[in-house]
Structure 1
Amino acid sequence: MDPTGDELNQETTQRSWRLPAAAWRLEPFAARAAQRQSRPVTAEQLRAQLRLATTPQHVSVAKNFQPAIGHQNVASPHHVGETSRPTDDVLEADLLGGSSLGGEDDLLGGEVSDPLTDPLMNLGPSSEASDHGVELADDPHANLWTENCYPSAESCRACHPVQYEQWRASGHAYASVSPMFQRFDQAMTEYTEGTVGSFCVRCHSPVQTQLKIPRSTSILDAPPVVREGVTCIACHRINEHYWRSNGDRRIVPGDLHAPVYGGSGGAGVARAVANADSLKLKLNSDDTSPGQAIHREGRFFLPLTNSDVCVSCHQVAVHPGIWLEVVHAQYRSGPAAERGITCQQCHMGAVPGKPLGYELNHVASLNDKPWGEKRKQSNHQFWGPGFSIAHPGLFPHHPKADRYTPREWLKFDYRAGWGTEAFERTVDATMVFPAPWDTPDDRRDARKIIDANLAKLQQKRSAATQTMEAALKIEGPLMRHAPQVGQPFRFSYRIHNVSEGHNLPTGSLGAQPQLWLNVALIDPDGRRVWESGYLDRHGDLADMNSVDVATGCVPRDADLFNLQTKFLINNVRGTDREAALPLNFSLDQLVFLRPGAIPVSVLNHPPLIRMEAHSIPPCDSRTAHYTVPASVIRKRGTYRLSVRMRSRTEPIYFMRQIESTPDMIQRMLGNTLDLHPQSHSIRVR
């Protein structure tokens, strides 16, 4: 009797899931940990054993060291790329820290870490671990084994090129390779002495979690499917509904031919499989004939058709009970859920941020030809406000980028124009480039990938602006009295959240996205005489988190309208104060993240820490009030009020606390979104 399809799938899964010799194994780490339990260890020893990326403390630099922002890696014209270490990304850059973009000494007089020290020098398995064969990168068969269990998006691209092209620049594709995520997760691990566990990685890198790749392993050395973050199989190889599981979901292991789960039932796949010979399709890994490999079955999975599939990662709480993602709870209590509008309709529909239907298209291509009838096609760009600050050789994902390793990409100085005709005409024999960029052909090939990715990033940025503007309306200026010379000028703007789905802003509150109103008054001579929502010289808003405000360099912005949600702690005793990280900083020697001793339901928030929300609920509004002092209204004539909402995914002071590189901060500042910019003329008598 021939085995059934389910039996074949089960047999394939069991065969492919056997752990090879080179797979990640925790036994060596556990054995060493057991040996150390017999003697107490200090916090520094514990951190060293966990092999976290800590910058050596014995190295310091001159007090006046102050690299130029965005150019700290520029070499002399006659020695390119060798004498300076790549500082383009946190994944292989120096962590200057400090209190300013330039990375100089902090306000307390502490010394800055050596900018030429690689922060990843302490990352990765130790030599002792290497003896046990846990370094996956050393085994030439390792990536093949990983692909047989967890196929990458590159494998799915053959049949689904449209979905791949949409996904490769999306927030899901960016989840793992994001420098901000890597720094945030590293900082949380160090601050909590490892007690945060796999909380962050479970959502951002589900394949890494399931492969049990140690936290100490650099993302640069992980298998390609790990760098894909929330890749195809993270949603389409899930066959159980996990609800609020804090990102803890199980991907069903299996090769490319194993079943996938979707919202249509797989009728198109069944027709293709029935005509496999005429279509030249390969249905199992043993088939070596020419043709296109596909999965043998498509199965219907109800949660993928509604908002339930989003909840496990978009409604999460970290100990001691702080909700870092609250968007699903906001959605469930909002008008969109009551009307039956799903998350997918706004974030995967035809129009960014609006439930206006889906595009109709062929869902798959077989041998470069559209297959089946046109039907609803969900957009896998996942419309949202995020943007990338990673090196464009690493992100967006590109099918030809795997010609070079991630570490090689980080050495490619795309800002200097490498690979462009203008630059290559200036290259002479005295210039030295790091391998593999020491040949003109490689530089030109890499430039084509870089240019394609930069164009894709610009599309993503435009879509992010469109998504935010779809939910936002600025009403005003609203004035009770006409402005007069020598009198204070009072006015207001009303900010509307016209979305029915969730609060504005929302998303990952752990990163505390900022959305603020920037208003400026220009006098009849064209001079800006007053402003609110301005930035200090470090890129921070002029509030209590600004170093320049604290040191008296810039005045505090008393009229600031900022919709950022913040963490408040009382540090065991005392009044509430703002904190950049979701940690209830206890006074213990080790800051452990632990469940609260008092039920959250009693206090309505965990002990010692709570969140202060400033966001606007769906279909609601808030009013920003402003007062321009009489001293700046000196002339009669026509004044101009210019206004815009500004959005960025992380505050700059937060980035400094987790030791983001100056280049990361510069990219965050450069990618700030300007929403609904407008000007209004006002007559002053």
Structure 2
Amino acid sequence: MKSPRLPIIISIIFFAELIVSTVAAESGSLGNFTSDQFSKSGICSNCHGSSFGEWDGSMHSNADSDFFYQAMLQEYSVATESQGLSPDFCSRCHTPIGVVSAEIPPLDGSHLSEVSKEGVQCDFCHSVAESEGIGNAPFILEPGDVKWGNRSDAESASHETEAHEFYNESAYCGMCHNIYHPVNNLTLGATYTEWKESPYAEEGVNCQACHMTPGIVGFEENPGKAASTGPEREHVYTHYFVGANAFVTDIMGESRHEKRAIEYLQHAAELEVNAPDSAEPNEQVEVEVKITNVGAGHKIPTGVTEDREMWLELIVEDSKGRELHHSGALDSAGKIDSETTVYHTVFADSEGKPTIKLWEAEIILSDNRIGPREFAVEKHSFIMPENASNHISTKAVLHYRSAPQEHIDELFGEGAYKVPVIDMATCPEEEKTSTPGIGTIGTLIALSLGGAFRRLKR
């Protein structure tokens, strides 16, 4: 004889499963999809060879495989267990398919499919149908046969196409390029907001106009075909997504992207030096250096800037090459002179101690970075030695480094990796070289950009 309680038990189990599936559908961290709903980027290369070739090797393609990120992620993984932090906080931007497919956690990547390991890849970006806001990756995905983009006249024999104005807006980039602490909501990175509050936003110059065209800083037309079977167009977006990362791209052998990152850095700032060319013995010599952000639509540096370093090195010599003043030098261990102003963000933990571990951040102690078209002035002084001979020569160099050498040594062991120091600007100015295929552009990048960008949206 059947138990009269069996239907009740089955109903309870069904109801519990319904609750679990409903919660999962509402939370990207639990997964809404399976990874086999997304295509590997190599498939896209059949028709979009140029775009694939540009993306391949970029920081977007290496978003999950980036060794520096992975080292920090494993430290964060330990913190998730002890502090109750969301396990998918970092991964939602670095391996979005892995998160929505419930292949994260674990954070060691052992459950990731091959398509999820591709980081910020083609099918993910072109499956974004909507966004719920800015920061921490609030994307809404619709993977499948329909691929989303910015062109209303796009046609493909391989898939359906849908146009969305969202793809022409900086807010698309803002989904991941603003970062807020998952618990206390502290702003950890605000590249989108920095742009939004800049003159460039007012002039209609968006993120894509600098980071998805051949120009170094600013819009540069790129005629051609978006697909091998498509029509000739006045402008086709590039997919290098160049930023400032010459460290990881170099170590991972991505020389094309390394060179572009260096060139972007070298067009971001300008220096002006105000210094005397002679002085009397025992006279106090005053030197002023003006650092201007002329080429970035956001602060320099930008992103998660607790680790990134930008600083000025100043060298003053007499006519015989004897050093009269030197600041901003590196010691033998790669550490910056302690008296030097480093342009970055300093976070503090719950005890008020500076920390470079974002998940520990409770407050911002300082943020001296330079905004778009803004400047900072450094003042230096020294006493002219009695045996010094005129004429005085002054050289200023603005340096950039992706992370302190000390931090990299702590993560990977001393001598494992040397973080390159990029010379962003010098005064007297040194001749800049151009990366083949990129071209050059003046420092006043706002001129005519609004009209140029409107043309590409036609």
Q: CA deviation at 1:216?
A: 3.5
Aligned pair 1:253/2:128, yes or no? no
The amino acid across from 1:469 in the alignment is Q
* Cα distance in 2 for residues equivalent to 1:187 and 1:390: 22
Q: CA deviation at 1:634?
A: 2.8
Structure 2: which 5+ residue stretches go unaligned?
1-19, 22-33, 430-458
- 2:248 alignment counterpart: 389
Q: CA deviation at 1:490?
A: 1.8
Higher strand residue share: 2
TM-score when normalising by structure 2: 0.78
The amino acid across from 2:120 in the alignment is V
The amino acid across from 1:537 in the alignment is S
1:491 aligned to which of 283, 287, 298: 287
**Percentage of identical aligned residues:** 20
1:469 aligned to which of 250, 253, 266: 266
Q: CA deviation at 1:185?
A: 1.5
Check whether the contact 1:495–1:623 (CA below 8 A) recurs between aligned residues. Answer: yes
* Cα distance in 2 for residues equivalent to 1:347 and 1:243: 21
Aligned pair 1:230/2:94, yes or no? no
Check whether the contact 2:247–2:402 (CA below 8 A) recurs between aligned residues. Answer: no
Q: CA deviation at 1:266?
A: 4.7
Q: CA deviation at 1:536?
A: 2.7
2:234 aligned to which of 358, 367, 375: 375
Q: CA deviation at 1:238?
A: 0.8
How is 1:209-608 mapped onto 2 (pairs within 5 angstroms)?
Answer: 209-216=99-106, 218-219=108-109, 222-254=112-144, 258-269=145-156, 273=157, 294-295=158-159, 297-318=160-181, 319-354=183-218, 356-366=219-229, 371-389=230-248, 395=252, 454=253, 457-476=254-273, 478-479=274-275, 482-499=278-295, 501-509=297-305, 511-543=306-338, 557=339, 560-569=340-349, 571=351, 576-584=352-360, 608=362
Identify if the C-alpha distance between structure 1 residues 627 and 345 changes in structure 2 by more than 3 Å, giving closer, same or farther: same
Aligned pair 1:162/2:50, yes or no? yes
2:93 aligned to which of 198, 203, 206: 203
Check whether the contact 1:504–1:615 (CA below 8 A) recurs between aligned residues. Answer: yes
Aligned pair 1:635/2:388, yes or no? yes
Q: 1:645 is paired with a residue of what secondary structure?
A: strand
Check whether the contact 2:135–2:180 (CA below 8 A) recurs between aligned residues. Answer: no
TM-score when normalising by structure 1: 0.54
* Cα distance in 2 for residues equivalent to 1:248 and 1:652: 34
Check whether the contact 1:268–1:372 (CA below 8 A) recurs between aligned residues. Answer: no
Check whether the contact 2:299–2:371 (CA below 8 A) recurs between aligned residues. Answer: yes
Identify if the C-alpha distance between structure 1 residues 640 and 227 changes in structure 2 by more than 3 Å, giving closer, same or farther: farther
Check whether the contact 1:363–1:377 (CA below 8 A) recurs between aligned residues. Answer: yes
Report Cα offsets for 1:231-253 as digits up to 9, x if no partner: 11221111112212511434333
* Cα distance in 2 for residues equivalent to 1:214 and 1:503: 32
Whose radius of gyration is greater, 1 or 2? 1
Check whether the contact 2:409–2:415 (CA below 8 A) recurs between aligned residues. Answer: no
* Cα distance in 2 for residues equivalent to 1:245 and 1:636: 56
Superposed structure 1 runs of 4+ greater than 4 Å apart: none
* Cα distance in 1 for residues equivalent to 2:333 and 2:268: 29
Aligned residues: 395
* Cα distance in 1 for residues equivalent to 2:318 and 2:246: 35
The amino acid across from 1:302 in the alignment is E
Check whether the contact 2:317–2:394 (CA below 8 A) recurs between aligned residues. Answer: yes
Q: CA deviation at 1:505?
A: 1.7
Q: 1:174 is paired with a residue of what secondary structure?
A: coil
Root-mean-square deviation (CA), in Å?
2.7
- 1:649 alignment counterpart: 402
Q: CA deviation at 1:390?
A: 6.7
* Cα distance in 2 for residues equivalent to 1:179 and 1:375: 38
Identify if the C-alpha distance between structure 1 residues 498 and 480 changes in structure 2 by more than 3 Å, giving closer, same or farther: same
The amino acid across from 2:422 in the alignment is L
Report Cα offsets for 1:245-297 as digits up to 9, x if no partner: 5114343333xxx110000025332xxx3xxxxxxxxxxxxxxxxxxxx22x1
* Cα distance in 1 for residues equivalent to 2:248 and 2:416: 6
Check whether the contact 1:522–1:639 (CA below 8 A) recurs between aligned residues. Answer: yes
